[in-house]
A and B are shown apart, each in its own frame.
Chain A
Amino acid sequence: MRTLFYVLQKEFTQVFRNKSMLPIIFVMPLVQMLILVFAATNELRQVDLAIVDYDHSYSSREMIAGITGNPFFKVQQNPDNSQDAEALLMQNKIDLALIIPRHFDKNLIINKSAEVQVLVDAINGNAAQLSLGYLSSVIGSYSQKVLVNPIKPEYRQTKNIIIKPSYWFNPQLNYKYYMAPGILVVLITVVGMLLGGMNLVREKELGTIEQINVTPLKKWQFIAGKLLPFLVIGLFDLAFGLLVARIAFNIPVRGSLILLFSLASVYLVLVLSWGLFISTISDTQQQATFVSFFSLIVFIMMSGLFTPVESMPDWAQKLDFINPLFYFVKIMRSVLLKGSNFADIFNEFAALSAFAVSMFGLAIFRYRKTS
């Protein structure tokens, strides 16, 4: 016990003597929370569009007025023909072109239906979907208006189904509420994996591991010494990041904080063991950083942090069963936004615990005192 105490004392002394450590602990959460949460948004700010009106009728002008009145849309130009509109699309001057054909007005009145053409720049598929969605709803509400205030009374439709959505847990569809818990997960993952992993491989680079290996120090004492300081730092950063998110975005904390931090501890043990495992198989900090970053990016991209897991192909969803970030992103969002209790997230907890125990075992097993 006395030995473990001294090992921990030595590790803490070294961590806080490292000049780059304090900035990492304090600046990283601030930057991640204040910049990434804003940057990683799917919300659309402004859609630039061009409208080609071949009809020049009352109805077409009425519809265009509806579009220009919407703050999302900015009509950049009104070209004379669709070729010019396509050219603008090619030149990246607009995101979207709306083409109203001749006889739009006539078709609307006589045939009770009319068509318009929309050209969308779909390089960013997500944004294309969203802007098309917005435009459709604007056109949709215009057609609703035509039906409600018919030009001739007999067009009046008697039945109209109106859907009134109610969004649970995030009624304003605030994107930041969705992103901030996920970014917090990335934060403590990076802290745990890189700091923890680098620390052990640094002893290899300095050669100090040679001296440690000839001491009667037990494997678990050594590994625990490498793990605990960064567990504490990770939890501290989680608290700090959460505070920043609370102040900056007023992010709700509906679940129990004790539950959240207990689960975070399990998760950090897992991440730290993973970092330690990588450093036991690496000889230099450079190698360890590279391998860590590689696995980190794969796990982050697949975690459902930026894109919903449900929209991934089947095999990718299955692969997520072994992605610790997948579980912890889910836990974070559930506990913070939904107020889930322990029973609600028991499955995720069980999976994380199983991974943590096996990864810790693997790290200890792989760290050998003899080569």
Chain B
Amino acid sequence: MIEVKDLHKKYGDVIALEKVSLSVQKGELFGLIGPDGAGKTTLMRILMSLLLPDTGSAIMNGLDVVADYKKVRLITGYMPGRFSLYPDLTVEENLKFFATVFGTTIEENYYLIKDIYQQIEPFKTRRAGKLSGGMKQKLALSCALIHKPEILILDEPTTGVDAVSRKEFWEMLKRLKDMGITILVSTPYMDEASLCDRIALIQQGRLMSVATPLKMTNSFPEDLWAVRTRKIYDTSKLLELIPSMLSVNSFGQVLHLVTKKGMHTAKSIIQFLSAQGEVEISVEASTATIEDVFILLMNHHKQNQ
């Protein structure tokens, strides 16, 4: 269980974390979603006792990250955002080294990493620096798990990893969660958010919303329209002129238009566009994605400033 209360952290004049409070339940897969520089890594490094908070507290399974930092390190597994195993040691040597410094052996906790490690075991004599991105992540996860942690903290584990490996990685996390391990994972990919039990949206050091992914998308407070057009750029410029428009964003070949609740129908939008000369267009009501929620909250946040 992770209990974060009123965490503050400043780097000089830059506020990295502002009044962050958060609670992650035991055995929960909790996602920290936000763009680069939002404060995800700072929060994780404070939880790992690698960084001291300015004010506020964080408790991990009853242990304070500042006062009991030595014990905290024993019960947590950490995977930093950057690959940080020894590139000049082999797969097996890396795993053995981390097992030993935690006072355990590979055999003792092998059952925990078996599923993951088996996939890279054929390459166990290969140097870690020569592994592919996906294999590196698997090795790093194995090393973070080898001392049987109660809590796992993963900083952007899927950044820079191919789509197949990403999918596999999330399946592994699901299995670890089922073993009762509490997992806090950060990601800049909004599509991965739906794979978490609960998520927190973080932006500029502030938590904007905490909920289950479904609740977050279902409680989207405005109207959302999916607009299909051939001329994405021209149409998006036109859409910005619609009265009570809140935002227009492109999602691949589709434009997401957000308008104030109850102000428009699909018909009224089509009428508006055809009056401007756009005809080859389809507009339909759509359900929001996490990204839509994020953008909406971000705009609110900006307006409040």
Chain B associates with chain A: yes
Chain A residues contacting B82 (CB-CB under 8 Å) are: 207, 210
Interface-located stretch among A145-153, A161-169, A212-220: A212-220
* Contact indicator per residue, chain A 10-25, by CB within 8 Å of chain B (1) or not (0): 1001100110000000
Q: Is the interface of B mostly helix, strand, loop or mixed?
A: loop
Could you tell me the distance between the alpha carbons of A81 and B74 in the complex, rounded to whole angstroms?
90
Contact A216 B102, beta carbon cutoff 8 Å: yes
| Cross-chain contact B74 with A6 (CB below 8 angstroms) | no
A10 and B86 in contact, given A3-B100, A3-B101, A214-B50 (Cβ under 8 angstroms): yes
Task: Assess the A13–B93 pair: CB atoms within 8 A.
Answer: yes
Chain A nearest CB from B77 CB (Å) reads 8
B101–A215 touching, CB < 8 Å:
yes
Q: Give the total of A residues in contact with B, Cβ under 8 Å.
A: 24
List, in ascending order, chain B residues with CB within 8 A of A212's CB: 101
Is the pair A206, B97 in contact by a Cβ cutoff of 8 Å?
A: no
A211 touches B103 (CB 8 A): no
Judge whether A18 and B88 touch: CB under 8 Å: yes
Q: B residues within 8 A CB of A215? A: 73, 98, 101-102
Q: Does A172 contact B (CB under 8 A)?
A: no
A211-B143 contact in complex given A216-B70, A217-B101, C-beta closer than 8 Å? yes
A253 vs chain B, min Cβ distance (A): 38
B120 within 8 A of A: no
Does B85 sit within 8 A of A, measured CB to CB?
A: yes
Contact A10 B97 (CB under 8 A): yes
Query: Are B88 and A14 touching (Cβ within 8 A)?
Result: yes
Q: Is B137 close to A, CB under 8 A? A: no
Interface string of B39-53 (1 = CB under 8 A from A): 000000000111110
B225 at the interface (CB under 8 A from A): no
Cβ-neighbour of A7 out of B74, B85, B101, B103 (below 8 A): B101
List B contacts of A14 (CB < 8 A). Answer: 86, 88-89
Task: Confirm or deny: B294 has a beta carbon within 8 angstroms of a beta carbon on chain A.
Answer: no
Are B78 and A214 in contact, CB atoms less than 8 angstroms apart?
Answer: yes
State whether A17 touches B70 (Cβ < 8 A).
no
Q: Is A2 an interface residue (CB 8 A)?
A: yes
C-alpha spacing A211/B81, complex, angstroms: 11
In the bound complex, do residue B76 and residue A214 qualify as a contact, i.e. CB atoms below 8 Å apart?
yes
For residue A19, which residue of chain B has the nearest CB?
B88
A16-73 with Cβ < 8 A to chain B: 17-18
Chain B residues with Cβ below 8 Å from A211 are 78, 80, 84-85, 98, 143
Instruction: Specify the chain A residue showing the minimal Cβ separation from B87.
Output: A206
- A160 lies within 8 A of chain B by Cβ: no
Give the complex CA separation of A223 and B117 in angstroms. Answer: 30
A214-B97 contact in complex given A17-B88, A208-B84, C-beta closer than 8 Å? no
What's the least CB distance linking B155 to chain A, in Å?
10
Q: Does B83 sit at the interface, judged by CB under 8 A?
A: yes
Return the contact of A370 from the options B50, B80, B83, B102 (Cβ within 8 A).
Answer: B50
For B73, give its contact among A17, A210, A214 (CB under 8 Å).
A214
Query: Which chain B residue lies CB-closest to A221?
Result: B101
Chain B residues with Cβ below 8 Å from A2 are: 100
Tell me, in angstroms, the Cα distance from A13 to B92 when the chains sit together: 13
Please state if A370 and B52 are interface contacts (CB–CB under 8 Å).
yes
The B-contacting residues of A in range 169-221, CB under 8 angstroms, are 206-217
- For residue A311, CB closer than 8 A to chain B, the reply is no
Which B residues are closer than 8 A to A by beta carbons?
48-52, 69-70, 73-74, 76, 78, 80, 82-89, 93, 96-98, 100-103, 143
23 A-B pairs with C-beta separation under 8 A:
A2-B100, A7-B101, A10-B89, A10-B93, A10-B97, A14-B86, A14-B89, A17-B89, A206-B86, A208-B84, A210-B50, A210-B82, A210-B84, A211-B80, A214-B48, A214-B49, A215-B98, A215-B101, A216-B102, A216-B103, A370-B50, A370-B51, A370-B52
Given A3-B103, A210-B78, output 9 extra A-B contacts at Cβ < 8 Å: A7-B101, A10-B89, A10-B97, A17-B88, A17-B89, A209-B84, A211-B98, A215-B73, A215-B102
Interchain residue pairs A-B with the least CB separation, the first 5: A207-B84, A6-B100, A207-B82, A211-B84, A215-B101
